[in-house]
Structure 1
Amino acid sequence: MGIVQDTTSAPPRPHTDFSTSPRRRPPRVDPRSGAGWAVGITTGGVAVLSGLAWVLTSDGTPPEGSASMTLLVFATAVVAWCSGRFEDVHVAVAATSGLLLLGVLTPVELLTAFGAEPIWLMFSAFLLAAGLTRTGLPGRLVAALTARARTPRQLAHLITVALVVSALLVPSTSGRAALAVPAHSALADVFGRRERLVRALALLIPTVILLSAVGSLVGAGAHLITSQILAATTGSGIGYAQWLLWGLPLAVVTSHLAAELVLLLHTRPSDRREPLRVPSALLRTELDVPHTWRPVETRAAWLLAVVVLTWSTNEWHGIPAPLPAFAAALVLAAPRSGVVSMSRAVSEVPWSLLVFMATTAAMGGALVASGAAQWLADAVLVGSGYALVVGVVAVSAAAHLVVQSRSARSSVLIPMVVPAALAAGMNPIALAFASTAAAGFCHTLTSSAKPVAVFSRIDAPTYRSTDLLVLSAFLGPLLVAVVLLFSVAVWPLLGLPLH
């Protein structure tokens, strides 16, 4: 914009030129408007949930004391999350504050949740990711893999490989989606005339990002919430190496199945038969990656290898998991040789996510400690043996239609799954892991997950809401079947039995 002054004798007055018409300021909204609706739906939701639990409970006896108060706070939080009118972290903080005021949760327990190792592990992982993304290492991985593709099927599966590996580098599905947008833009420029292929890739990338997150403990905040609740209730959480052993095979299988499904549903046989070539130079230019490796990339690759190796061997040496990531982040943020300042790296940490993780973990612990989780599990999760496994996996996969936040779904489901598993004589860790894995399915609506929302708004041919519905109709049952297969036949071989 420029400053234009009148040259006449009148006093000069500043005038602003707009290249476009000025944007109208949206009308102010009274923050109190809609409060009646919020109170009404919250009260109604609590009444419905309490009434349903009363009917389903075998003896019809409601919980007593702190369990009753905890259940009311929990039900109110669930209804608020389902409404979508409130921030997830705001609801979690309000619910935790309510538990503190009611005496169900003590200040020491809440502060312990904030100081738990999973919270600091995620914090250190975000610091490390801030440096890694600036080295260009993730972009080089994408460019190197996709440039090898000669057919659309090869391209889809090579992109899938890159996204699965990125789950080890970037501890956030939305962050991985932001990194993948430039790569998709470059591919869209190359294959501009092949619109169906470009649209299929736009659907493939967020789908694989969400499914591959289960491959790493830091792949999603929900994983750390699950581990934290398990540690508080059973005395044993899930470490990085264990999660990698159980989650990575599932991530690989489901991601590549999803890639095939996207190709079959959203491209024609002629599209898949037509050869292609991805110019590596164009991809590197778009992703700002030079032809030769830079020293900072080599250093970052070695640092990442050391961090992952240290995490994976934690049971042998006992070094707390956050420390290796902290050390690597310090190297990448060194004053002269680093790629990002420490203050900038800290500013990019999603603090609201960490607060949400800590407060929901504290809520989950209060649910179990007060007895409310056991009471609710007896009322809702009816069944034993394999019927319970099927019910938990199916409910977890469908929960995204009600609670959009992946972390919130874990904070709702895991406190009920653990006592239900113990009552049925099953392994609570196995059932909780299966629930968390199934909860990674959130592809039905554009609002179901941030990566889906990001790629629905890109400046390139992308998918429609009907495309998501078609994909979900096939992918949902497929994911449930694969998780059940792993629960029964694969994870027991890897040290995670159901019983």
Structure 2
Amino acid sequence: MITRMERQLEKQNRIIKWTLKLSIKSLVIFSIHVLSMLLIILIDGLDYRAKISLFAFLLAMTLWITTKIPAGLVAITLIMFIILMNAGEPDLLYHSLSEEVVWLMIGSFIIGEAVKVSGLAERLTFLILRKFNKKSNMLLGLSSVLFASAFFIPSTSGRAALSLPIMNQLSQKFSPKEQSVLAILAPVIILMSTSATLIGAGSHLIGIGLLESTVDQSISYIQWLIWGVPFALVITFVSFLLIKWMLWPRNGLKVIESEQTEGKIIDKKQLNGEEKKTLILILFLVAGWVTESIHGFDIAFTTMVGAILIMTPNYGIISWKQGMNSVSWNLIVFVAAATALGKVLVDTGIVKWIENEILSVLHLFIGAPDWLIVLIILLVTVTSHLYITSHTTRAIVFIPGLLLFAETIGVNPATVAFISLIGMNYCVTVPVSSKALLLFYEEGEISYEASNLVKISAVLMPIYILVMMIFYFSYWQWTGMYL
């Protein structure tokens, strides 16, 4: 007969064995979650709904970065957690699929499939391969093309959508490890080049609009080019070198295997009917994106119009079934749930609370030297992507407060607006902070791990701030920028 003491010993042994099975990493993650929960409970300025939502968001960020659990499963589980804890309504789950970014990505996948099926992606791939026979040269060439696209495609997500099928086709010439680097390189270069032009991101136009309506100042398109292009060139090149140095495999083949005979045949062929239709459609999409302010339809709606035309029976390029099969539904569910998690931060007042806390601290710097004011603005704006996942929302939330801060301490609002908008363009730490990053995250053909993005950001973020500081006290002041 088993005594009570023996049962207790057996139970203790089971607990010890279970504890030993837990890795140190798991214990660290669990400890972080417990600590963050305790800290959130102690915050006085947030109500119950806000505290639950903030804990869920931090939990999601940690699990995405540190574990192999599918990102979509994490996001949708935590949405359900918020609802079950009575911190949100079931509509939070249902309405997540109505987000603009969800439909933008569905349309982008369909258009990408058309570019691939028509043969246009293959043609462009061989055109690039003909120009470059070394992988390092090709990476630099691709980065140059992506940088140049900022001047005629006024959307980071639009540029990512058009580059996706090309990157998928080119990735066949690279090893799996190299493909994961390509999946990070493309969106990062797209994001770093955003600062080159006023139309590079919608947040720029929002920020300038707020500047005009608040203090009756503005920054012209030409002035933005003068300030933005040199900075964008430098930080894009630095990002390229950093990604290549930190992530690119050292022992891989340096030369791309030649397929010149097949490439010449494709190159000499005239564009077929499908390629012509696809090319015309892409030009239509670019025109629709550029003229958004005229017709009033946002980029997601324009993209879906293009996707519908692509799948039109008898006249389109691919069938409905092909279009639906091309969509990475795993990624779509993740994006929908992750976007809803970010939206909850705004709806429950967490973002407003963070904004008030930050701005209350900023007012302590009245009379501070220029270098300290610039540094504080950069620390606030560059890190804002960690808790406000929407680029546009960051501009709407922070620009009015920062303009008020500029007037309070007696500095130039236009300079504060420009520095703030450039600072907000940094959003490289987690996939949910940018639609361009999301398009390449967990995609079927090429993808990257969130942990690699964090590694890059840990080094790139301080470099980004440093380069902005150097630019302000040198080139930008020489060209008329002052506080």
Relative to the length of structure 1, the TM-score reads: 0.58
1:182 maps onto 2:157 in alignment:
no
CA contact (8 A) 2:133 2:256 kept: yes
The aligned counterpart of 2:426 is: 437
Q: Taking structure 1 as reference, are residues 435 and 68 closer, same or farther at Cα in structure 2, changes over 3 Å only?
A: same
- SS of aligned partner of 1:147: helix
Task: Summarize the alignment of residues 392-471 of structure 1 with structure 2, pairs less than 5 Å apart.
Answer: 392=380, 395=383, 411=389, 425=404, 431=420, 434-435=423-424, 437-439=426-428
The aligned counterpart of 1:118 is: 101
1:212 maps onto 2:199 in alignment:
no
CA contact (8 A) 1:434 1:487 kept: no
User: How far has the Cα of 1:308 moved from its partner?
Assistant: 1.0
CA distance in 2, matches of 1:301, 1:430: 37
RMSD: 5.8
Question: Which one of 297, 306, 331 corresponds to residue 275 of structure 2?
Answer: 297
Q: Taking structure 1 as reference, are residues 323 and 213 closer, same or farther at Cα in structure 2, changes over 3 Å only?
A: same
CA distance in 2, matches of 1:103, 1:490: 53
CA contact (8 A) 2:382 2:425 kept: no
Instruction: Please state which structure has a larger fraction of its residues in helix.
Output: 2
The residue type equivalent to 1:305 in the other structure is L
1:80 maps onto 2:59 in alignment:
no
1:329 maps onto 2:307 in alignment:
yes
Question: Which one of 370, 374, 378 corresponds to residue 390 of structure 1?
Answer: 378
1:342 maps onto 2:320 in alignment:
yes
Q: Taking structure 1 as reference, are residues 389 and 113 closer, same or farther at Cα in structure 2, changes over 3 Å only?
A: farther
User: How far has the Cα of 1:133 moved from its partner?
Assistant: 2.0
Task: Summarize the alignment of residues 93-112 of structure 1 with structure 2, pairs less than 5 Å apart.
Answer: 93-112=76-95
User: How far has the Cα of 1:439 moved from its partner?
Assistant: 1.4
CA distance in 2, matches of 1:364, 1:152: 38
1:281 maps onto 2:270 in alignment:
no
The residue type equivalent to 1:171 in the other structure is A
The aligned counterpart of 1:159 is: 142
1:91 maps onto 2:94 in alignment:
no
- SS of aligned partner of 2:44: coil
The aligned counterpart of 1:127 is: 110
Q: Taking structure 1 as reference, are residues 110 and 183 closer, same or farther at Cα in structure 2, changes over 3 Å only?
A: same
Structure 2 unaligned regions, length at least 5: 1-19, 150-155, 195-199, 211-220, 249-254, 363-372, 406-415, 432-439
- SS of aligned partner of 1:437: coil
User: How far has the Cα of 1:162 moved from its partner?
Assistant: 4.0
Deviation by residue 1:359-416 (Cα, 9 ceiling, x = unmatched): 233222322232333445667899535334332466579x7xxxxxxxxx86499989
CA distance in 2, matches of 1:266, 1:40: 28
The residue type equivalent to 2:142 in the other structure is I
CA distance in 1, matches of 2:448, 2:428: 21
CA contact (8 A) 1:381 1:388 kept: no
The residue type equivalent to 2:188 in the other structure is L
CA contact (8 A) 2:124 2:166 kept: no
CA distance in 2, matches of 1:477, 1:43: 28
The residue type equivalent to 1:346 in the other structure is M
CA contact (8 A) 1:125 1:325 kept: yes
CA distance in 2, matches of 1:83, 1:261: 22
User: How far has the Cα of 1:92 moved from its partner?
Assistant: 1.4
The aligned counterpart of 1:5 is: none
CA distance in 1, matches of 2:447, 2:297: 39
User: How far has the Cα of 1:309 moved from its partner?
Assistant: 0.9
The residue type equivalent to 1:49 in the other structure is S
CA distance in 2, matches of 1:112, 1:311: 25
CA distance in 1, matches of 2:98, 2:321: 21
Q: Taking structure 1 as reference, are residues 332 and 72 closer, same or farther at Cα in structure 2, changes over 3 Å only?
A: closer
The aligned counterpart of 2:332 is: 354
The residue type equivalent to 1:387 in the other structure is L
Deviation by residue 1:35-76 (Cα, 9 ceiling, x = unmatched): 999996665323322555689xxxx73633322332333333
The residue type equivalent to 1:284 in the other structure is G
Q: How many residues align?
A: 393
1:45 maps onto 2:32 in alignment:
yes
Structure 1 unaligned regions, length at least 5: 1-32, 186-198, 218-222, 235-241, 268-275, 400-408, 443-447, 458-464, 492-496
CA distance in 2, matches of 1:79, 1:262: 22
CA distance in 2, matches of 1:118, 1:490: 36
Q: Taking structure 1 as reference, are residues 365 and 153 closer, same or farther at Cα in structure 2, changes over 3 Å only?
A: closer
